[in-house]
Copies of this chain bind each other. A is one copy, B any other.
Amino acid sequence: MNDTIATILKHRSIRRFSDQPLADSQLKEYIRAGQMASSSSFIQAVSVIRVSDSANRAKFAKLAGGQPYVESAPEFLVFCADLSRNRDRIRRDVAAEEPDFSWTEQFIAATVDVALFAQNVVVAAESDGLGCCYIGGIRNDPEQVTELLALPDLVYPVFGLCLGYPDQDPAAKPRLPIEAVFHQNAYPERGETDVVLDEYDAEVADYYQRRTNGKLNVTFTQQMAKQSASQTRKFMGEYIKKQGFNQH
């Protein structure tokens, strides 16, 4: 196995960082790595905002649900889906008619662009020994994020990312069995993967028991039931539409 794959396979989220800062040149190398990811029809629908202002960092930590590492991590980046840049350029230089980025398709394409870009940043950073933690919690309050970062329409914050040198060494969480995820020629019949998923439920329960000295005993399915009941962020549809995406 080569070093790149070894790096990817040992990924775990890091939530405690040393004080060692990143060099600007280093951070820019990771952003360049992000830019080299593929982009749907080459739209390059990504903007990254580095939040260095400490008052705003504190606000982000709070709105993300009280995640203190958002405030203290050496770097905190917000990854945005951005069709505004292209729209403005087309308006200025080309358009006979107003370009239309209001369809669900373009919402998907821009969102995918952001995630491909960010994952390159993460793998690049981890290959240099850094640790990362995605912060989906910024979607708790997208309106406030939009205000804090002065995001125009056709831009929305998809997730944040904490970045720095690790000051902890957590174990990787066990993933779904590959048989539950990887299929040949067709999606499996209902029930076909029950056995491996039952085994996985037991494995996850065991993982949490060991990690919490027996305090937490929860299967993957139980965890997902709780998660689905709590984290619907029902305001997201309206917010996304207000930003000009996903209108129809």
Contacts and interface: CB of A to CB of B under 8 A. Distances in A.
Contact of A41 (B80, B127, B133, B227): B227
B48 A187 contact: no
Chain multiplicity (copies): 2
A29 B1 contact: yes
Contacts of A80: 187
9 contacts: A4-B127, A5-B30, A35-B176, A38-B133, A94-B221, A95-B225, A99-B229, A105-B234, A116-B118
A172 interface: yes
A58 to B, nearest CB: 13
A171 interface: no
Interface stretch (A15-23, A66-74, A148-156, A209-217): A148-156
A189 to B, nearest CB: 8
A35 B119 CA distance: 13
Contact of A228 (B13, B99, B173, B185): B99
Given A9-B32, A90-B221, A124-B5, A119 B37 contact: yes
A122 B38 contact: yes
